[in-house]
């Protein structure tokens, strides 16, 4: 654990994050020889079961009993440039829809038996407008416009990062055994595009997608915003917290902290779309073993997600082009993971 009184030393994660148990994974692979012939007959399902085995530390996978969609919510100042189909400062509407059970993530969570948790770290609305448990980790309202100013102060970036770490600890301590990670943001895909382009060394046009369903004019504004923010991101690539402060946001910093601390706690995570993929890229720079604890639920079709997952060497489990965000793409993978776990646990040994 990190001392909350002392400064945050990101280098500690490189030591604290261990890989999933490779010995158990080999045992799980060998076990398929006694379950099915040929052992490769179940294809990707067996590979998923092996991943779960290593994450759980047991050759016979335990059922996924307490999955939870964890959604970090925030507004981004860059939305003032009209880079989104949504109006700036309206992340609170996305939060309320989830809290009311009326979002796609709620439908899938009910269907698949998953919990849903919303964590407001930077929604631009009065805290009293939302339940206290949702705003308990709020760092600030909104963020700076990253094309011309920092998204967060250094202190806010660290506070948001620590908030994500705290949420990971809360989920691990409460018995959550699989996290389906997503975001509720306005302007978030623009921020994600900046991070992916900066960390992959590519141009704005390569990572700029349609996000919330934007038209050509809005796409050009978004591309210009990413290009301008890239000029501010490149000088601080050597310091990940400084990068998150300069061109990130409270939700992005929190998701990055969450991913790293979840890896420390050996809590497997399924990534949703381009925002969580961009955060995973930042986290990988801090702890190179951390990506072994993550899967990608589905290919959203966002070019930034494609670039980020390629750099992470993570292949999406599904290709459905779902761009709804909110953890929806991550939830789509839950039945596959449950099927893999059931096959590992219930097939009798015959050979």
Alpha helices, DSSP H only, in 234-333? 240-247, 250-264, 274-286, 303-312, 328-332
Cα–Cα distance for residue pair 233/246, rounded to 1 Å: 7
301 C-beta neighbours (distance < 10 Å), count: 16
* E runs forming strands in 81-137: 115-122
Are 274 and 209 contacting, i.e. CB atoms less than 8 angstroms apart?
yes
| Residue 49, both tokens | 């079961």
Q: Minimal CA–CA distance to 74: which of 55, 94, 45, 59?
A: 94
Respond yes or no: is residue 326 known to be catalytic: yes
The SS3 assignment for 69 reads strand
Q: How far is residue 86's CA from residue 317's CA, in Å, rounded to a whole number?
A: 29
Please identify which of the residues 65, 326, 346, 349 carries the catalytic annotation: 326
How many whole angstroms separate alpha carbon 56 and alpha carbon 45? 16
Residue with tokens 């595009």: 193
CB of 317 closer than 8 Å to CB of 300: no
Cα–Cα dist 276/66, whole Å: 21
How far is the CA of 181 from the CAs of 18, 21, 41, 331, in angstroms? 20, 23, 30, 9
20 touches 54 (CB < 8 A): yes
3-state secondary structure of 296: strand
Give the separation between CA 244 and CA 256, rounded to whole angstroms: 9
Query: What residues are annotated to the active site?
Result: 326
């Amino acid at each position: 654990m990190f001392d909350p009184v002392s400064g945050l030393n990101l280098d500690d994660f490189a030591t604290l994050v261990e890989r999933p148990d490779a010995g158990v994974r080999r045992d799980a692979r060998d076990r398929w020889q006694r379950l099915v012939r040929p052992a490769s007959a179940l294809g990707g399902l067996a590979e998923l079961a092996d991943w779960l085995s290593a994450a759980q530390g047991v050759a016979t996978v335990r059922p996924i009993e307490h999955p939870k969609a964890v959604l970090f919510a925030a507004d981004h100042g860059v939305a003032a440039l009209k880079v989104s189909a949504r109006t700036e400062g309206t992340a609170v509407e996305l939060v309320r829809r989830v809290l009311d059970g009326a979002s796609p993530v709620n439908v899938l969570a009910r269907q698949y038996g998953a919990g849903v948790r919303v964590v407001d770290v930077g929604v631009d609305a009065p805290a009293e407008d939302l339940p206290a448990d949702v705003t308990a980790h709020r760092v600030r309202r909104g963020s700076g416009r990253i094309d011309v100013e920092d998204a967060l102060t250094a202190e806010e970036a660290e506070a948001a990062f620590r908030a994500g770490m705290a949420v990971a600890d809360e989920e691990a301590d409460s018995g959550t055994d699989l996290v389906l990670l997503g975001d509720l943001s306005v302007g978030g895909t623009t921020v994600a595009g900046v991070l992916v382009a900066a960390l992959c060394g590519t141009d704005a046009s390569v990572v700029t997608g349609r996000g919330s369903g934007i038209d050509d004019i809005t796409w050009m504004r978004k591309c210009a915003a990413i290009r301008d923010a890239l000029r501010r991101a490149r000088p601080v690539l050597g310091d990940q917290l400084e990068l998150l402060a300069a061109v990130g946001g409270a939700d992005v910093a929190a998701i990055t902290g969450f991913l790293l601390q979840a890896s420390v706690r050996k809590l497997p995570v399924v990534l949703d779309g381009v925002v969580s993929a961009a955060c995973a890229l930042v986290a990988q720079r801090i702890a190179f073993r951390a990506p072994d604890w993550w899967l990608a639920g589905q290919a959203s079709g966002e070019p930034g997600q494609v670039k980020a997952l390629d750099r992470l060497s993570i292949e999406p489990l599904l290709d459905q082009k779902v761009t709804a965000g909110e953890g929806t793409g991550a939830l789509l993978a839950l039945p596959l993971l449950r099927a893999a776990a059931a096959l590992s646990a219930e097939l009798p040994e015959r050979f």
